[in-house]
Amino acid sequence: MTDPVILAHGGAGAPNEDSDGPQHAADVAFRTLIDGQIDSALRAVVEAAVILENDERFNAGTGANCRLDGSIEMDAIVATSDGRIGSIAGIQRVRNPIRVARLVMDSPHVLLCGDGATQFAHHRGVPDDIPMTDRAAKRLATALERLKSGDVRPTEQKWRGRDMHGTIGAVARAHDGTFAVSCSTGGTSMMLPGRVGDSPIFGAGTMCGEHGAICATGDGEEIIRRLCSMRVYLRMAEGMHPQEACEIEVAAFPKPYTLGLIAVSHDAHGMAATDDKMARGMRD
């Protein structure tokens, strides 16, 4: 038996003052984590993610960013240490993508994308709903201004310093020593339609196995290139403390991109972010 713990974040770059959001999510989900029922780690990380998706300060679900064409496409994943994975990419017209990822986990597949993911969600009874907010519309206007100004070009260069990322996520360890991770995002602040970030890619935005669970946030393209969550996991598997494993990964992340990480192992946990900027919470 181990001590249960849950960590949640509201995205790299999300102001630390917004940590009341992930802290609330961790506090509520902790009750599920210790309820003594089956799959408590899995149910707790889904619950934490739903709470954060419903908080429009964060770029996921209700607060998701728009693509440059004004559409909203979202990515999400949930995974457990016994090898179950449910993932979706580029889903539209749902308010809680994490619930769809959880449904995919029980389907024959690991990852559904685009229209197929949206159809799957509605077919399985997830309400048809467009999660558009004033905040997302303002962010889109800012992104379009940057394109118009010539500061960035639409398809030909890396978009450095886009800032305003955001992703939400949670990692948990249950009494029985099992782990789970959830992650959900509206992407970044400037994106082409069809772009998929790190979040739904197992090993990149998340990792979960017998040695622990990791959730990443930040510049998705760079996180995919480096497989950040997998690298943290492999260090933990060698016995490194999760705090040190996260800090090494953040320090090695190429500038000016940003990275945030939360991680839990059998007997410890850790959190780190570029410039220490990441709304976060923890409950044990």
Catalytic residues: 167
CB of 203 to ligand GLY, least distance (A): 14
Residue 44 corresponds to which tokens in the numbers above? 């707790």
Range 210-229, binding ligand GLY (CB under 6 A): 217-218, 220
Range 139-178, binding ligand GLY (CB under 6 A): 165, 167
Cβ-based nearer residue to ligand GLY, 33 or 170? 170
CB of 196 to ligand GLY, least distance (A): 8
CB of 36 to ligand GLY, least distance (A): 34
Give the number of residues in contact with ligand GLY, rule: CB under 6 A: 11
Q: How many CB atoms lie within 10 A of CB 125?
A: 8
198 binds ligand GLY (CB under 6 A): yes
Q: What is the 3-state secondary structure (H, E, C) of the chain?
A: CCCCEEEEEEEECCCHHHHHHHHHHHHHHHHHHCCCCCCHHHHHHHHHHHHHHCCCCCCCHHHCCCCCCCCCCEEEEEEECCCCEEEEEEECCCCCHHHHHHHHHCCCCCEEEHHHHHHHHHHCCCCCCCCCCHHHHHHHHHHHHHHHCCCCCCCCCCCCCCCCCCCEEEEEECCCCCEEEEEEECCCCCCCCCCCCCCCCECCCEEEECCEEEEEEECHHHHHHHCHHHHHHHHHHCCCCHHHHHHHHHHHCCCCCCEEEEEECCCCEEEEEHHHCEEEEEEC
**Distance in angstroms between the alpha carbons of the first and the last residue of the chain:** 14
Find the part of the chain contacting ligand GLY (CB under 6 A) among 172-180, 185-193, 249-257, 274-282.
185-193
Options 19, 81, 87, 199; binder of ligand GLY; rule CB under 6 A: 199
What's the CA gap between 208 and 28, in Å, rounded?
Answer: 22
Options 40, 92, 178, 185; binder of ligand GLY; rule CB under 6 A: 185
Find the part of the chain contacting ligand GLY (CB under 6 A) among 81-89, 98-106, 193-201, 234-242.
193-201
CB of 167 to ligand GLY, least distance (A): 4
Cβ-based nearer residue to ligand GLY, 167 or 178? 167
249 binds ligand GLY (CB under 6 A): no
184 binds ligand GLY (CB under 6 A): no
CB of 120 to ligand GLY, least distance (A): 21
CB of 192 to ligand GLY, least distance (A): 12
274 binds ligand GLY (CB under 6 A): no
260 binds ligand GLY (CB under 6 A): no
* 114-123 helix and 97-105 helix, angle to the nearest 10 degrees: 80
Find the part of the chain contacting ligand GLY (CB under 6 A) among 18-26, 80-88, 195-203, 236-244.
195-203
The site for ligand GLY (CB under 6 A) is made up of 165, 167, 185, 187-188, 197-199, 217-218, 220
